[in-house]
A and B are shown apart, each in its own frame.
Chain A
Amino acid sequence: MSSKFLWAASTLALFPAIISPSYAASDAEIEILRAEIQSMKQAYESKISGLETRLQDMESKQVAQIQPAAGGVDAASVSAVSSQNSANAFNPAIGVVLNGHYAAFSNESSDVAGFGVGQEGGRMSEGLGLDEAELNFTANIDDKFMGKLTAALSEQDGETETELEEAFIKTTSLPYGISVKAGRFLQPIGYLNEHHGHTDDFSDRPLPNRVFLNNAYKDDGVMASVILPTDLYTELGAGVYRGNDFPGGGSDGSDFGSWLSYLRTGGDLGDDVSWMASLSTLQSRPEERAANDDTVLFHGDSDLYAASLRMTWAPTGNNTEQEVSLQGEYFIRKEDGTYEDSNAGTGAVGYDEHQNGWYLQSVYKFDPQWRVGARYSRLDSGDVPAGLAGSALDSGGHDPWNASLMMDWSNSEFSRVRLQYGHEEPASGQKDNQFILQYIMSLGAHPAHTF
């Protein structure tokens, strides 16, 4: 701006002071005055240029502030409204996850031989489909409790269904690393079960999670856990549940239907590798567990044991650019009771056998926005009593397996589009080629992710 003007003004102001005594001044004095003027000039110039920079800064900041407000709501009116409704300050964080897919399957039947599979554990719907829209509400209740509600909205047979995925409270201020959770929540059995589907690396759950846990075990109950004060992360926990969710079922609530306990531990190997391993068991006593569209019924003891391992590798631990994860789970299920397959007309048949299943997957993030992954999962349905020969529980010696490849792109951490190809042989002679194109987007408050 007016640096010249200021300079001129200041020189003018000094002028009389220089002029009047100058008649008598010696050369030396003139030199001193010159030097003073020079230093004043420099001081003014630097001050002025400083002011100019500040002015420019302020101008650019003003522009930056005005721009977002101009496009939408007036900032002043927003603050006025929010100060009027200060009760809103305590509203829970609200988040929505939107999922949708297009799926094409080459095989008509998707029944997994040798297992009674619950409703959620089946293959996803063919063609264009909307997956569950998930609504999350979470907040601290007070200084001692927090709460979370997750509702899943979906449409089934033309009707909109609301499913209560999670509704729980949790203590936040118990000493010694102890916490207690009560309500309905995803249980820590194995690794994946505890995680919401939208954080999965593949479009569908691996075979063992589908058949043993009906995709995810979430029952109503109480669980306590403790994190030990050790350098190696170690957490122990146990819970009791009503026992209505698969692998439980038909509980009248007169007794605990299921109980669970787990141990998990983990740490780092150098800067690049992190790992976590767990052992867990879920013991259920279903009164009547319906599977395969209510045609397969089980009554008895169902004990599930799971081991899981997850490792991640990222150069210098910086997972923004590159990361490899390796993850696997192994399940054994021991069931002692009676099975009945009404389709095959078996009647109630005594059953006391082991079944097992496992999967192993690896995902490679090779670019900040792109990942590729491969997964193999396999089931072994074990021996079948003679009375169940030819029923859904008879796999005819076939071990169901699935191999899947996926590639996904995430524009930001809130949006992801995924393409997945899978080859599945769920029963003897059944070969299913699966193409799935899927989007997963989250809006609103985004919950922080666990390891």
Chain B
Amino acid sequence: MKYFITSFLCLLVLPLAAQAKVNIFACEPEWGALAQEIGGDQVDVTVAASARQDPHHIKAKPSLLAAMRKADLVFCNGASLEAGWLPVLQENAARPDTVFLFVADYVTKLGVATKVDRSMGDVHPDGNPHLVTDPRNIMRMAPVVADRLAAIDPAHAAEYQDRASAFHSRWQSLIAGWGKKAASLQGQNVVVYHEGWAYLLDWLKIRQVAALEPKPGIPPSASHLQDVLKSVEGKQIKAILVSPYQNPKAAEWLSEKTGIPVVGLAYTVGGNDRADTLEHLYDDTIDRLIRGQND
């Protein structure tokens, strides 16, 4: 029996000892993409949610338990975006030495509520969790990820730091370029489906005049849509913003009534064909906003 247990434990340990790469569990595609950019060939990245899934409603499914079990670094959004599923994975499958890194701990959050109540809908007490929509948040995380990777895998620390500083400086100019390109959007009005664009709008100084969801996380109702219709009347509105995982029906209805174009933004990496990298995500987002149409 003793031998059996020993050999069984050896079997468990061996694959861990043999593996050289750092296993990263990323909750959302954007953080998976960033981890890959900084980690390069030294990391294996598993992304829990695809761009077509609502990050609020991922299930703690078996494949994710298996991925969490192997994770050296868990890189997630935080601000309770993953509150409905990540705790199950963490509680049941995370190792004691697994490092957790939450973006929300490192960036300035918008919409931090002084008082929350569930009657306000699916509000996040820690602030609006849709951090991906501002590229400055991505840039800010690059050195943080590099630090974590360097601590987990000191042998490649220099490579992580080099990639992070190259990324950071490249993105400083990219962000300046996007800002300049989007200058014409300043002060324009948009309607959103969900309060999911707060950081994008804050960055580009675009104004949100209405949301199709009556309360965050509650699907659009007919009566609320009538209210939205009234509130946009006579206003100059550039677009109705929806993301790939949201039902476009309500937005299309409003568009038909008002002539305001529906603009589907990628939201995250992989949200459409062009947004295949973090850089292309914002290229595509800015282009679509400026054109004010889908294609």
Contacts and interface: CB of A to CB of B under 8 A. Distances in A.
A40 to B, nearest CB: 18
Interface stretch (A239-247, A382-390, A408-416, A422-430): A408-416
A53 B88 CA distance: 43
Interface string A271-312: 100111000000000000000000000000000000000001
B60 A173 contact: no
Contacts of A317: 49-50, 52-53
Given A50-B186, A229-B69, A233-B66, A177 B95 contact: yes
A252 interface: no
Given A146-B91, A368-B247, A413-B84, A448 B115 contact: no
Interface in A398-414: 411-414
A69 B61 contact: no
B85 A268 contact: no
Nearest to B85: A448
Contact of A448 (B16, B88, B205, B217): B88
A319 B85 CA distance: 13
Contact of A49 (B50, B186, B207): B186
Q: Interface size for chain A: under 10, 10 to 19, 20 to 34, or 35 or more residues?
A: 35 or more
B155 interface: no
Given A229-B69, A233-B63, A412-B218, A173 B247 contact: no
A246 B238 CA distance: 64
A443 B118 contact: yes
B217 A268 contact: no
A415 B124 CA distance: 18
B62 A275 contact: yes
Contact of A176 (B13, B62, B218): B13
A177 B70 CA distance: 9
B247 A316 contact: no
A450 B66 contact: no
B16 A266 contact: no
Interface stretch (A31-39, A70-78, A84-92, A110-118): A70-78
B66 A227 contact: yes
Interface string A209-222: 00000000000000
A125 interface: no
Instruction: State the majority secondary structure of interface residues on B.
Output: loop
Interface string A367-388: 0110000000000000000000
Contact of B92 (A75, A227, A319, A446): A227
A247 B187 CA distance: 68
Interface string A229-253: 1111111000000000000000000
B83 interface: yes
Interface string B42-79: 00000001101110110111110110011000000000
Interface in B84-118: 84-88, 91-93, 95-97, 111, 113-118
Contacts of A265: 62
Interface in B5-35: 9, 12-13, 15-16
Contacts of B247: 321, 368
A172 interface: yes
A128 B121 CA distance: 29
Contacts of B96: 172-175
A232 B122 CA distance: 33
Contacts of B97: 175
A372 B13 CA distance: 46
A68 B115 contact: yes
A320 interface: yes
B61 A266 contact: yes
Most buried by B among A78, A275, A412: A412
Most buried by A among B118, B122, B207: B118
Contact of B115 (A52, A78, A274, A450): A78
24 contacts: A53-B205, A73-B115, A172-B91, A177-B95, A229-B69, A229-B70, A233-B62, A266-B65, A268-B61, A268-B63, A274-B61, A274-B63, A316-B50, A316-B52, A317-B52, A319-B57, A319-B59, A368-B247, A412-B218, A414-B118, A448-B86, A449-B88, A450-B60, A451-B59
**What 6 pairs between A and B have smallest CB-CB spacing?**
A266-B62, A173-B96, A233-B62, A233-B66, A316-B52, A75-B114
